[in-house]
Amino acid sequence: MKPLLYVVFILSSLFANAQYHTAKILMADGTVKDGFAKLPSNKMLDGKVEYKSSAKANFLKIDEDSISQILYTAKNGNKFLFVRNNVVHLFKSFGKEIVSEKKNKHWMLLIYANDAIKGYSLAQRYKLDKKGIMKSITGAHSMWEFVYFLYQRPTEDKAYIVSGKGFTNGQVKKAMGIYFKDHPALVKRIQNKEWKHFSLTDIADAYAAYFKE
């Protein structure tokens, strides 16, 4: 019986360590912590990020509000930047534009950036698989039934939801129309479905191109 319990203990330890990934944590006060950390999540009861200064060190729970961003490095070298940021919903109701900011900050994953704009993915939680691919995971029967896509310009201190898995074409066009309303030529191209799947990266490139002309 003892050998079996020993094997179970070893497997449990390996699983626990596998949940920690090489991480560089930028604190809100500007200091940096290097070590290992679990991935952040937006689940309601999660308010801490588990961190270890070395693989064999005891973990500490860091209040997520004291963290600005975390850069994770997978074993294959892939890097993933998570930013704790304010989130704004953009939609229309009875023809009226609605700009609604969420009360709390959320963890979002940087998926694209150019000099003019950044694109993020926002989900309930995240998972780094064995192939070094980061996956965004949704919840059910709540705001987390979607994986959201957001834009943020360098002059903005919050990110704006412009699309999401499960959004209709109409919802995306309305949200992007609100976000880019200071660039009517780009809005017209979006309304005319120049990009079939409303590609976040393609539209971001098109937006950046206006500054190069």
Give the DSSP letter string of 13-71. HHHHHHT-EEEEEEETTS-EEEEEEPPPB--TT--EEEEESSTTSPPEEEEGGGEEEEE
pLDDT of residue 196: 77
Q: What is the DSSP letter of 124?
A: S
pLDDT of residue 193: 87
pLDDT of residue 117: 97
Q: Do 44 and 104 reside in the same domain of the chain? A: no
pLDDT of residue 197: 80
Q: Which domain does 183 fall in, by range?
A: 75-213
Q: Do 113 and 151 reside in the same domain of the chain? A: yes
Of the three residues 24, 42, 73, the one that is the final residue of a domain is 73
> What is the mean pLDDT, run by run of 10 residues, along the chain of 213 residues?
41 52 97 97 85 93 96 96 96 88 94 96 92 85 77 97 91 95 94 86 94 71
Q: Do 169 and 184 reside in the same domain of the chain? A: yes
Q: Do 139 and 93 reside in the same domain of the chain? A: yes
Please tell me the pTM assigned to this model.
0.86
Q: Do 69 and 85 reside in the same domain of the chain? A: no
Beta pairing partners, 71: 24, 81
Nearest-5° Cα angle at 88, 83 to 92 = 150
Q: Do 122 and 195 reside in the same domain of the chain? A: yes
In our burial notation (b when 16+ CB lie closer than 10 A, e otherwise), range 18-31 reads eebbebbbbeeeee
Q: Do 62 and 145 reside in the same domain of the chain? A: no
Of the three residues 56, 73, 90, the one that is the final residue of a domain is 73
Q: Tokens for 54?
A: 């070395």
pLDDT of residue 18: 56
Q: Do 65 and 151 reside in the same domain of the chain? A: no
Nearest-5° Cα angle at 52, 47 to 53 = 135
Q: Do 38 and 84 reside in the same domain of the chain? A: no
Report the relative pairing of strands 118-122 and 106-113 from DSSP bridges.
Answer: antiparallel
Q: Which of 179, 184, 195 is nearest to 89 (CA)?
A: 179
pLDDT of residue 2: 47
pLDDT of residue 6: 38
Q: Do 148 and 67 reside in the same domain of the chain? A: no
d(CA 134, CA 113): 17
Give the CATH number of the domain where residue 55 resides: 2.30.30.100
pLDDT of residue 62: 96
Q: Do 162 and 129 reside in the same domain of the chain? A: yes
Of the three residues 73, 107, 132, the one that is the final residue of a domain is 73
Q: Do 17 and 88 reside in the same domain of the chain? A: no
- Count of domains observed in the chain: 2
Whether 36 contacts 19, CB under 8 Å: no
